[in-house]
Structure 1
Amino acid sequence: MELRHLEVFRVLAEERHFGRAAQRLYLGQSSVSQQLQRLEADVGAQLVHRTSRRVELTAAGEVFLEEVEQVLGRLEQAVQLARQAASGRRGTVRIGTNYPAGRLLLLPLLERLRDRLPDLSTLLREMGTDDQLRALERGDLDLGLGYGPVDSSRVDSVHLRDVPVVGTVRHGHPLADRDLVGYPELGRHRYLTGVRGSGSHIDQVVLRTAAAAGVRLVPSDASTDLASYLLELEITDAIGFCSVPRGEQNRASGMAVLRLGPPEPTLQLHALVARPAPPPVRLVLDQLVALAGHPGGVDAA
């Protein structure tokens, strides 16, 4: 049994006339008749009553038509789904993001994907930039949103936007009532470091900016991890550095947040993509670039 025979039968059932069916199928009437005969032979039952003026379905033909419409409908759907998958419009993209990129980039991206690529699903993980890079190189992640640029021969990065770095101190700290703190004054206080996965990126940009202003910042003797970072700041006079979104979270936890500069230290948020990027990842990257207003497109990596 061939699919083309099923299509001939469906069109014939709709037109109830050999001539009109032949015209729709761009076939001769004899060809339509021959293909119907072969189909009836394969089914083992007569499917139509033939008259000189009209075609009528037999009882077997009525039942068979219902099933044929389902089969052909599923086939058409399968073709559409396969084409969507090949073009990247269907599938699952595994996305890793650090905290600021999650707040500033991921949330608007997900809303945009729901509107423009509704058949594309995402699997999300919050993780630091270094962990994202390792996961991308292992093939455990499709797209990362973190600090960049990155130094990897296997991962491309696209600069999407900048985010300022702010200081965080406890209430009661000598700088807690200040809105803006310059580097000379910042240099009189030690800073707390050691937040695995993000602290090194943040510390480095603040240290470079302060050094360009002629100030050397000194780390605290203590180091900590993210889980106890705020606790350490609450019991010392050290200063912590973080992105603006994390600073807002710290403010909600009762900490004071300070703007730094001038100049203001900033972090670059990048999209991180392992080479070569498959079609679904490139489509998501296109949407990210459009959101960020990046003029270079995905080929700017």
Structure 2
Amino acid sequence: MDPFARVPLGQTGVTVTRLGMGLAPIGGLYSPVGDQTAIGAIDEAWRHGVRFFDTAPLYGAGLSEKRAGRALRGRDGLTLSTKVGRRLVSGAEDAGIWSEHSGAVPVWDFSAEGVRTSHRESLERLGLDRVDLLHLHDPDEHFTEAVTEALPALVQLRREGTIGAVSAGMNQSAMLTEFARTGQFDCFLLAGRYSLLDQSGLADLLPECERRGISVIVGGVYNSGVLADPHAGASFDYRPAPPEVVARAQAMARLCERHEVPLRAAALQFPLGHPAVAGVLVGIRSPEEAADAVAMANVKIPEALWQDLVAAWLLDPEVPVP
């Protein structure tokens, strides 16, 4: 694939590079990053040709947005997305998985006013006058409010030209499929549910989006770690991977080695085989990780590898591949 090709999102004028960078890690996910390393990671991705970046207020309680803004201000050809559904308020509660404290904590808010406020405050943290794409962020327990209040507010922002595309980002496909049927969404961010290990998004969301001309951006291509480095104790779906999942990923890695293809490359490129998938997001926390993602996106993968994965019962023969 050409990881830097620009692909339109749905019927909008918004385009993304096939390879995008997820900026949750630069918010201090699990361990501190610091401003210099975070900005260096974005600079490295940009140097290679990546033009699509995704952040959120949740990530480091504003740190990711602030660092992204410092790195991206004044650049041309940028596509930037952020999220609504959690507003930041002053506080110093336990940050959980976020290791750097920003002086703020997130609170759920899918009200119409909450969406407008969150959008405005994101622009202030970013130091920008616009984001191209706005996602409803993890509305799993807030479906009614998301549909009746947040979604109309996003549609109004799109109508005003304040944003270019309306989306929702989740770790499940069922609710996103319900959102697709409203006819109001341009694209979706599906995390962890269309990967080499988990193709559950193929049962509902992906065919629905293909029928409706809705684009899908796939995140979590490494399933939170096990497809990057399949070892005992690796993470799968944000918790320790069961032994059978590790064994399956290791079997995939062995087949990849026969074809001189890193498992990371196969995992990153696999989702792009589906016609509804516009691009993939890979999380980065350092210049080295940004460079590695670009390298994996550029690996030439022989058709025989996909055939061998099918022959070994590691991939369903009906699943589309690049």
TM-score (norm 1): 0.24
Report the structure number with the largest CA radius of gyration. 1
TM-score (norm 2): 0.23
